[in-house]
Structure 1
């Protein structure tokens, strides 16, 4: 009887230690910009994607597009655009709208940013590092340009740097 109690205690101990090790940690950055979005914009809620005439809600990680007579929110692009390359497509950063319905300005956005729109090269205001979003704003405030310098004192490019000649 004593051995049965020891075996039962051993099995219970074995089962409890293996189940505690089976925990999985999932780290999801809810509300952070997607990898395909322009980096460095920390206070925006939406992108407008002219080529697919859709919005992307950053906080909810959803596309917003018009279909079947209503605005649809989905984790995926409409079926017709599922093969669209979000990395190379142009995204308009809507930094002046923070409501729930960016499509109230759809007519304006569609007219200004038509399909195939390629505006100025998209600015990256920061950088991303190791899947963690790290933003560094560097607009050279405080830098004073000296027009009299004209890049003199830089040599002709044939020198040996700091080595002795």
Structure 2
């Protein structure tokens, strides 16, 4: 009888996630933002949204999203390639989080950690 060998692959990309991303995730490929119906590609730092009958990939959001507080808007972590291919399902499943402000951002978590260390 030969001993079983296990291979474990661990990926971490916490250092490239934006400060406005949700805390608690070591690895993220995309966020889906139900409030504005937009995806964010964490690795390439690009927003993906529907415009002129196609999914576009841009480094900045259009001005129509200028009032969105990225620290407060809810983000759904998605670790699958091209999540917009299941957009209809994502929109139906996550639209209930469009006004949810309960999620703690990486930035807020860092602030709270620093405050608790000072006490």
Q: Distance in 2 between matches of 1:48 and 1:128?
A: 22
Shift in Å, 1:32: 0.6
Q: How do 1:7-26 residues align onto structure 2 when only pairs under 5 Å count?
A: none
Flag the structure with larger Rg. Answer: 1
- Find the counterpart in structure 1 of residue 20 from structure 2: 36
Cross-structure match for 2:93 = 112
Offset at residue 80 of structure 1 (A): 1.1
Task: Give the TM-score normalised by the residue count of structure 1.
Answer: 0.50
When the two chains are superposed, the root-mean-square deviation of aligned CA atoms in Å is 2.8
2:70 aligns to what SS in structure 1?
coil
For this pair of structures, how many residues does the alignment match?
96
Instruction: Note the C-alpha offset of 1:41.
Output: 1.1
| Cα distance between partner residues in 2 of 1:115 and 1:81 | 19
Choose from 71, 76, 79 the match for 1:92: 76
> Could you tell me how far apart the structure 1 residues matched to 2:105 and 2:52 are?
36
Aligned 1:49-60 pairs, distance under 5 A: 49-60=33-44
The match for 1:102 among 83, 88, 94 is 83
Q: Which runs of 4+ in 1 moved over 2 A?
A: 115-125
Find the residue that maps to 1:52 and give its secondary structure.
coil
Q: Which ranges in structure 2 are unaligned for 5 or more consecutive residues?
A: 1-12, 112-119
2:46 aligns to what? 62
Scaled by the length of structure 2, the TM-score of the pair is 0.68
- Aligned pair 1:122/2:103, yes or no? yes
